[in-house]
Each structure stands twice: as C-alpha cells, then as structure tokens.
Amino acid sequence: MRVISGSLKGRRINPPQNIPTRPTTDFAKTGLFNILTNNIDFTEISFLDLFAGTGSISYEMGSRGCERIVAIENDYKCAGFISQTKTEWKLPIDIIKMDVFKFINNCNEKFDLIFADPPYSLENLDSLPELILNTKKLLKPEGWFILETSHRNQYTNHPNLFRVKNYGEIHFHIFTAETVPVQTIKSPE
C-alpha cells in the first residue's frame, strides 16, 4: 500500500502484521480519488473516516491538503498505527478509538465528506446510509457519503444514492444529502 497522490505521494503504508483490516486496493483508491479530485477542493472540507483500518484513506486526504480529518477505528492496533503514522507524517488527523455506531449516535458535527469501509460481513452494514443521512444527519448539504461494499450490497432504491462506481469486487456507493436520480458507472473490464 502507498499514498497515491499529493504531498506524500509514494510513501509506503506498512501496517503491523495480523491487524484485522481489508485495505482498499490501490486500483480502487486511485479510481475513487479521480472522482473526488474532479468534484472536491480538499483544502476546504471536513472529512470523517469510519472504520479507518490502516488509515489509508485519511492519509490520502491529508496528503491532498485536507485540514479537518476525523478517523474512527475501534481496533487498538489499527488506532495505534494511525496515531504513529499521523505523527511521523505530520498529518492533521484526530483519531477516536471507538465503535463506529456509538460514535455516530453521539456525534453532533456535520462533515463535507464521509467515507465508510466497514467489514463486508458487518451485520448492520446496510443501516449506515439511513443512519448517517437521515437519522443523525451527519452530512453537510452539499456533502457526499461514500460507502465501500462488496457486490452483495445494493442500495439502488435509496433516495439519496447519487452514483455507484465498481472496481471489480469493490463497489463505492456515493450518497448525497439531497434526493437524486442514481448513476451507475462500471469500471473498464
């Protein structure tokens, strides 16, 4: 794993062995950040990274100049690795070691961009869009919520689903605070 762009481009991400993560592949991450780069000014937004894992997405945001990054990770080793890396790389990441659902239920801040990469087998994974967008309303009016899942999760009937981008088995579901017609874009085969 590596940082793919920005001031930290090329830096290797070397998490400790045996941490319980499934990092977003460089291929999928490159595609996601191509979309984001064309739509977002990274220096002007607040970012929430749910199920932060190794911190890979938070590092990409920091590398591109994002000043408000909040990473939520419940695993002790993962949170420690993010803390160590943010210090070494001098990144503005606030790390909160907490269960994501507990954090969401207690959060009063709104974010411009929210990214969630939960374990694909998470029992209540499908409740995340409704919880973030409508129950807790954590997304600012012009913001995006991006949920990474496998092909098994589908949200085509969700009124806030804006776009779906597929990279092999990885699906990025992009939701907005507003109700919109959905666009499904498949990656080149």
Query: Which of helix, strand or coil describes residue 55?
Result: coil
Amino acid code (one letter) for 170:
I
Residues in the chain where the model's pLDDT stays below 50 = 185, 187-189
In sign, the C-alpha dihedral spanning 152, 69, 112, 137 is positive
Q: Which pLDDT does position 154 carry in this prediction?
A: 85
Amino acid at the residue 52:
A
pLDDT tens digits, 32-85: 999 999 999 999 999 999 999 999 999 999 999 999 999 999 999 999 999 999
For each of the domains in the chain, give its residue range(s) and CATH number, in order of start: 44-186 (3.40.50.150)
Q: Does residue 175 contact residue 158 with C-beta atoms inside 8 Å?
A: yes
d(Cα 126, Cα 129) in Å, to the nearest integer? Answer: 7
Residue 25 pLDDT: 77
Quick one: pLDDT at residue 97? Answer: 97
